[in-house]
C-alpha cells in the first residue's frame, strides 16, 4: 500500500508509499521444560486456594510425574481464573482489579498499568483472555505460558481480533502472581501499538486515531483529515458494508520501527494490514512530509482498509489494488496532472516498461522514482478501466480477484465481458500513451 510520489511537485519532499500488510500467523515457540513439584506459599490465601477437583485428582502411580501433572493443571486453572477476573476489571474501568494479578514490584505491573490506560482510551469493548497451554517451568518457582486474547475496540459487537503473547508467573506470599509480559511478536501484526507504548486517542464519527504522547499535538488534525478520508474510502468499499470504524495509528520514529513488526521498505510512508476479525488497521509514518499531503495519504490507506479482504491482498493484484487506492488518493486526476506522471515517463523510457500488469512489482531497495513510476502505472491502468467500464465495475473486478479468488481472465470475462489479455494490452497502451 503506497502513497503517491513526490514527483515534480515542490510541496513533496520525498515520496510516500505504503506496502500491503499480509496476514502472518502468530507463533511464539517455547522449548518444552518439565514442570517441577512445588510447595506454594500462597495457598493459604482465599484467592488462591486449590479447588477440590485439583486436590482430589487420583494418582495413577506413586511417581513424581503425577505430582507434576497435578501442579501443572493447578497452575493453568489459577492463571485462567486470574485472567478472567482481569478482563472483567478492564471492561469495568477498574484499574486496581486489572493490576491485581501482577506482583507490584515486577516489570509486569508497570506494563499492565500502561496497557490499561491505552486500552481504555481506545474504547475497549471486548476482552476475553485464555491460557489453555500447560505452563512450562522457567526457573525456581517460575512458569511461562501463552495467553490468547480476543478483543474489540469501539464496536460492542465486533468480530474479535486475537493476539497471543507470553506471560511469566511466580509464587509469592500473596499467591500466584504475574511478573512478566512479553509483547506479541509475529512479523506483521505484533506487537500492537497499545502493547508497547502509551496511547493518546481521539475518536470521531467513523475513525479512531491513536498516537504517542509526544505527538499529541497532531491528533486533532489527524482526526479531522481521517474523518474526511473515511467518506471517500467508504465509497470504494467492496466485499460487504463499509468498515464499522477505521483505526489509524500515527507512528513516531521509534514506533515506526517497532509497531506491527516494523521492517518496512525505506520508501514506505504508511500501510494497512489485517489484524483479525474484520479489522484492517492503518499506520502512518509521522516522519513523512505530511503537512501538504496527509489527506492524500489517508485516503489512499483507508481505501485499502475498505477494500481489503481479511486475509490480505494477493501479490498478483498489486497494480489493481494500488491503482484503486491512488484513484481515491488523487481524486481521479487526469494523466497529465497526476503528480507521478514524470516518474511513469522515466519508467517507460529507461526501463522500456511494456507490461504485463500482473508482473508489476517494487523491490525493497527501489529508488524513489521507480516506486513513484510503478504506482503511477497502476493508477493509469485503473483509470483506463474506470473510464471505459465505470468505477463500479472496476471495484467488482477487484472483488472477484481478491475476495472471491477468481483467476484474472475468469474475473475479466465475468465482470467486463472481455478476455483479460485484450484488456491488459489496452491498459498498457494507455499507460505508454500517457507517458509519451
Residue 27, SS3? coil
Q: How far is CA 16 from CA 89, 110, 217, 278, 287, in A?
A: 42, 36, 22, 26, 10
> Are the CB atoms for 242 and 306 separated by under 8 Å?
yes
For residue 376, what pLDDT band results from cuts at 50, 70 and 90?
very high
Q: Which tens digits make up the pLDDT trace of 409-427?
A: 999 999 999 999 999 999 9
For residue 331, what pLDDT band results from cuts at 50, 70 and 90?
confident
Containing 168, the helix (H) or strand (E) segment is strand 161-172
What does the pLDDT read at residue 65?
58
In this structure, what C-alpha cell is assigned to residue 145?
505460558
What does the pLDDT read at residue 361?
87
pTM of the predicted protein model: 0.84
Please say if the pLDDT value at position 101 is more than 90: yes
From the number of C-beta atoms within 10 Å of its C-beta (0-12, 13-18, 19+), residue 263 rates as exposed
What does the pLDDT read at residue 6?
32
Instruction: Provide CB contacts within 8 A for 415, sequence distance 6+.
Output: 389, 393, 396, 397, 400
Please say if the pLDDT value at position 69 is more than 50: yes
What does the pLDDT read at residue 292?
53
In this structure, what C-alpha cell is assigned to residue 120?
481504555
In this structure, what C-alpha cell is assigned to residue 9?
511537485
Name the nearest CA neighbour of 256 among 292, 283, 222, 293: 283
What does the pLDDT read at residue 38?
30
Strands 200-203 and 175-181: unpaired
Q: Which tens digits make up the pLDDT trace of 111-157?
A: 999 999 999 999 999 999 999 988 999 988 899 999 999 999 999 98
Please say if the pLDDT value at position 351 is more than 60: yes
Q: Give start and end residues of each alpha helix (H) in 250-390.
A: 253-258, 290-307, 318-330, 341-350, 368-389
Residue 418, SS3? coil
For cell 522457567, name the residue. Answer: 138
Please say if the pLDDT value at position 233 is more than 60: yes
> Are the CB atoms for 411 and 401 separated by under 8 Å?
yes
pLDDT, the chain, mean: 85
Residue 424, SS3? helix
Cα-trace Rg, the chain: 26
Containing 67, the helix (H) or strand (E) segment is helix 64-92
Please say if the pLDDT value at position 75 is more than 50: yes
Q: Which tens digits make up the pLDDT trace of 155-201?
A: 998 999 999 999 999 999 999 999 999 999 877 788 999 999 999 99
231/267: higher pLDDT: 231
What does the pLDDT read at residue 5?
33
Amino acid at each position: 500500500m503506497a502513497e503517491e510520489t513526490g514527483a515534480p511537485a515542490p510541496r513533496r519532499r520525498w515520496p510516500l508509499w505504503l506496502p500491503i500488510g499480509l496476514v502472518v500467523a502468530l507463533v511464539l515457540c517455547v522449548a518444552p521444560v518439565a514442570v517441577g513439584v512445588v510447595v506454594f506459599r500462597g495457598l493459604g490465601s482465599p484467592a488462591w486456594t486449590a479447588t477440590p477437583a485439583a486436590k482430589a485428582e487420583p494418582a495413577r502411580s506413586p511417581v513424581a510425574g503425577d505430582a507434576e501433572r497435578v501442579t501443572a493443571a493447578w497452575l493453568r486453572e489459577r492463571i485462567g481464573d486470574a485472567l478472567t477476573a482481569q478482563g472483567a476489571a478492564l471492561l469495568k474501568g477498574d484499574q486496581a482489579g486489572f493490576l491485581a494479578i501482577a506482583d507490584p514490584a515486577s516489570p509486569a505491573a508497570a506494563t499492565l498499568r500502561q496497557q490499561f490506560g491505552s486500552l481504555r482510551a481506545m474504547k475497549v469493548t471486548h476482552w476475553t483472555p485464555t491460557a489453555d497451554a500447560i505452563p512450562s517451568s522457567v526457573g525456581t518457582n517460575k512458569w511461562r505460558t501463552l495467553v490468547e486474547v480476543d478483543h474489540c475496540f469501539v464496536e460492542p459487537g465486533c468480530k474479535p481480533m486475537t493476539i497471543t503473547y507470553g506471560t511469566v508467573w511466580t509464587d509469592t506470599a500473596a499467591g500466584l502472581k504475574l511478573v512478566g509480559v512479553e509483547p506479541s511478536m509475529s512479523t506483521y501484526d505484533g506487537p500492537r501499538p497499545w502493547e508497547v507504548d502509551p496511547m493518546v486517542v481521539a475518536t470521531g464519527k467513523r475513525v479512531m486515531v491513536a498516537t504517542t504522547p509526544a505527538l499529541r499535538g497532531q491528533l486533532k488534525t489527524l482526526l479531522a483529515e481521517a474523518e474526511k478520508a473515511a467518506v471517500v474510502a467508504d465509497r470504494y468499499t467492496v466485499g460487504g458494508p463499509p468498515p464499522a470504524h477505521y483505526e489509524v495509528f500515527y507512528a513516531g520514529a521509534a514506533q515506526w520501527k517497532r509497531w506491527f513488526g516494523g521492517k518496512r521498505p525505506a520508501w514506505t510512508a504508511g500501510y494497512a494490514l489485517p489484524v483479525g476479525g474484520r479489522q484492517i488497521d492503518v499506520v502512518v509514518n509521522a516522519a513523512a512530509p505530511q503537512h501538504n499531503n496527509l489527506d492524500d495519504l489517508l485516503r489512499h490507506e483507508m481505501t485499502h482498509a475498505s477494500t481489503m479482504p481479511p486475509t490480505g491482498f494477493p501479490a498478483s493484484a498489486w497494480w489493481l489494488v494500488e491503482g484503486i487506492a491512488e484513484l481515491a488518493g488523487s481524486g481521479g486526476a487526469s494523466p497529465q496532472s497526476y503528480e507521478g506522471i514524470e516518474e511513469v515517463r522515466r519508467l517507460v523510457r529507461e526501463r522500456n516498461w511494456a507490461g504485463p500488469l500482473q508482473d508489476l512489482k517494487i523491490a525493497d531497495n527501489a529508488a524513489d522514482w521507480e516506486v513513484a513510476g510503478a504506482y503511477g502505472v497502476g493508477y493509469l491502468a485503473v483509470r483506463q478501466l474506470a473510464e471505459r467500464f465505470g468505477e463500479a465495475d472496476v471495484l467488482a473486478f477487484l472483488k472477484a480477484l481478491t475476495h472471491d479468488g477468481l483467476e484474472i481472465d475468469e474475473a475479466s470475462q465475468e465482470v467486463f465481458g472481455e478476455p483479460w489479455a485484450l484488456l491488459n494490452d489496452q491498459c498498457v497502451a494507455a499507460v505508454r500513451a500517457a507517458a509519451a
